[in-house]
C-alpha cells in the first residue's frame, strides 16, 4: 500500500509508566480519543465505551478507509479495548456504574447538559468512586456563559485568534491544516490526568479536570497574545513573515521553496558567511535583531536575490554545514518518507490478523528508545465480552441478560 510504513511496532518497547492505571474512555471524534490514546501509549489500560452498531463517530469519517475502517479513527485509537455498551438503557447504566467503580480515570467529551442527562457528570460518577479522576473535554468549559454551546475544532480555531493569523496578508483567514484545537485539548487532558495521578497519594479525593478546546487553542497563541497584551500591537496575518525574529520565513530557491530562521546574531553572521558575503552581516544598520526588523523588507529582498541562484538541495547542504537553521516545505507524503523521521521510529505499522495499520508514534524517546504500541485500534465491540467477564467478573448469564436488554 502506498506510504505504509515498513517498520513494525515492537510491543516490547511499549512504555509502562502508567501500568496499573485503568482509564474509562467515554469520548468520541478526535480530542478525547487522542487524550486516551496518549495515556494508553504510556501504559495505561484504556477501556473505550462505544455505542452498539455505531461506535465512535470517527469510525464513519471517510474516505479514506482501510479495510472498511476510517483512517481518522485508526489514527487516535491504538492501545484500547472496545466495549459496545448502550448506557442509555437501564441495564447499560448499571454496567457503566460497575465499570466506574473499578477504574482510576474517566474521560468524557460530552457537553455538560448531556453529561447530566446521561448521569455521566462528575457529581454522579464521583459519588460511585471517591478516588475518581474525572476529565471533561468540552468546547468552552464546564462553567461560563458558553458552557452549553456545542463546538468543533473549526469553531475553536475561530474563537482563539489562530485563523486570523494564518494565511497570506491578502488572503482570507485560514484554518490550520490539522485539527489543532482537538489535538492540543487532548494533549492537555492527558497531561492533566498524569498530574492528577501524581497528586493522588497526597489528595485521595475525587478530582475534576476541566479542559476547553477554545482555551487550549488560545493558549497556543501565547507568544502572540502576550506581546499584544503588553504593547497593544495587534498581530496581523502575513503568511508567517512578521515574526519577532528577523529573518524567519520561507523563500523561493531556483526550484523548491526553503524555510530559513536567522534567530540569533551568531546565526546571522554564519548565514552571510555561507553566502560568501560576510561584510553584509557586519553592517551597523543590521547589528541587532531589532535593527533587522526595522530593515526587514530590504534584507528580505537581498536574500531573495541570492537564494534564487541555486536549487534547494544545494542550499540545504550549505546551511547544514554552516549550522544555519533551514529546511524544506514538505508535503505529508514527503514528511512520512523522511529517512531521519523513520530512523527515529516515528512512523510504524501495527499488525492485526492479516492487515497492517499505519501509525504516527508518540515522538517521545525513553531510555534511548522510541515508544511503541501494544495493540492496534480495536474493532467495534471487540472486547465487550472479555471486559465484562474478566474485569467486572460477570457470569455468562449476566452478559446474556445485558444482550437481551439491548445494552450490548
List the one residue out of 19, 73, 11 whose CA is nearest residue 348: 11
**Out of 182, 188, 210, 383, which one is annotated catalytic?**
182
E strand spans, 100-181: 105-108, 133-138
- Integer Cα distance of 165 and 176 in angstroms: 10
Name the 3-class secondary structure at 164.
Answer: helix
Assign residue 352 a region (left: φ > 0; alpha: ψ between -120 and 50; beta: otherwise). Answer: beta
Q: Which residue matches cell numbers 536549487? A: 311
Record the cell numbers describing residue 83, joined without a space.
466495549
Please confirm, yes or no, whether 182 is among the known catalytic residues: yes
- Integer Cα distance of 236 and 91 in angstroms: 55
Record the cell numbers describing residue 321, joined without a space.
554545514
Q: Which residues contact 390 (CB under 8 A, 6 or more apart)?
A: none
CB 39 within 8 A of CB 46: yes
Other Cβ atoms less than 10 A from the Cβ of 342: the count is: 15
Report CA dihedral (244, 247, 252, 256) to the nearest 10 degrees. -80
Question: Which residues partner with 328 through β-bridges?
Answer: 258
E strand spans, 122-226: 133-138, 207-212
Q: Which residues contact 339 (CB under 8 A, 6 or more apart)?
A: none
List the one residue out of 200, 183, 184 whose CA is nearest residue 21: 200
- Integer Cα distance of 140 and 211 in angstroms: 8
Report CA dihedral (310, 312, 316, 318) to the nearest 10 degrees. -10
By annotation, the residues acting in catalysis are 182
Amino acid at each position: 500500500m502506498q506510504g505504509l510504513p515498513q517498520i513494525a511496532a515492537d510491543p516490547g518497547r511499549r512504555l509502562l509508566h502508567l501500568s496499573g492505571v485503568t482509564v474509562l474512555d467515554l469520548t468520541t471524534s478526535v480530542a478525547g480519543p487522542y487524550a486516551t490514546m496518549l495515556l494508553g501509549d504510556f501504559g495505561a489500560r484504556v477501556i473505550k465505551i462505544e455505542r452498539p452498531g455505531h461506535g465512535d463517530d470517527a469510525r464513519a469519517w471517510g474516505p479514506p478507509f482501510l479495510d472498511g475502517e476510517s483512517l481518522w479513527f485508526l489514527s487516535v485509537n491504538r492501545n484500547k479495548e472496545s466495549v459496545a455498551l448502550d448506557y442509555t438503557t437501564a441495564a447499560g447504566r448499571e454496567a457503566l456504574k460497575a465499570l466506574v467503580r473499578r477504574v482510576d480515570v474517566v474521560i468524557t467529551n460530552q457537553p455538560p447538559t448531556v453529561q447530566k442527562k446521561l448521569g455521566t457528570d462528575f457529581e454522579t460518577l464521583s459519588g460511585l468512586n471517591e478516588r475518581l479522576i474525572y476529565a471533561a473535554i468540552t468546547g468552552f468549559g464546564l462553567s461560563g456563559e458558553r458552557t452549553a454551546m456545542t463546538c468543533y475544532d473549526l469553531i475553536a480555531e475561530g474563537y482563539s485568534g489562530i485563523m486570523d493569523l494564518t494565511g497570506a496578508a491578502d488572503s482570507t483567514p485560514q484554518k490550520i491544516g490539522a485539527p489543532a484545537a482537538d489535538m492540543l485539548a487532548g494533549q492537555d487532558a492527558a497531561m492533566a490526568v498524569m498530574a492528577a495521578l501524581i497528586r493522588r497519594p497526597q489528595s485521595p479525593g475525587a478530582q475534576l479536570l476541566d479542559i476547553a478546546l477554545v482555551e487550549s487553542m488560545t493558549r497556543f497563541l501565547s507568544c502572540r497574545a502576550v506581546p499584544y497584551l503588553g504593547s497593544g500591537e495587534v498581530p496581523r496575518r502575513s503568511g508567517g513573515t512578521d515574526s519577532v525574529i528577523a529573518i524567519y520565513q520561507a523563500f523561493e530557491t531556483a526550484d523548491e521553496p526553503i524555510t530559513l530562521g536567522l534567530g540569533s546574531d551568531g546565526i546571522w553572521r554564519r548565514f552571510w558567511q555561507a553566502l560568501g558575503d560576510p561584510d553584509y552581516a557586519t553592517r551597523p544598520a543590521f547589528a541587532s535583531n531589532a535593527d533587522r526588523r526595522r530593515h526587514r523588507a530590504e534584507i528580505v529582498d537581498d536574500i531573495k536575490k541570492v537564494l534564487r541562484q541555486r536549487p534547494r538541495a544545494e542550499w540545504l547542504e550549505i546551511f547544514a554545514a554552516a549550522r544555519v537553521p533551514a529546511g524544506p516545505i514538505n508535503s505529508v507524503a514527503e514528511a512520512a518518507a523522511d529517512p531521519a523521521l523513520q530512523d527515529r521510529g516515528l512512523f510504524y505499522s501495527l499488525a492485526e490478523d492479516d492487515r497492517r495499520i499505519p501509525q504516527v508514534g508518540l515522538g517521545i524517546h525513553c531510555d534511548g528508545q522510541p515508544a511503541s504500541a501494544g495493540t492496534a485500534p480495536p474493532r467495534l465491540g471487540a472486547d465487550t465480552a472479555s471486559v465484562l467477564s474478566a474485569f467486572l467478573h460477570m457470569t455468562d448469564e449476566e452478559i446474556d441478560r445485558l444482550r437481551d436488554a439491548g445494552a450490548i
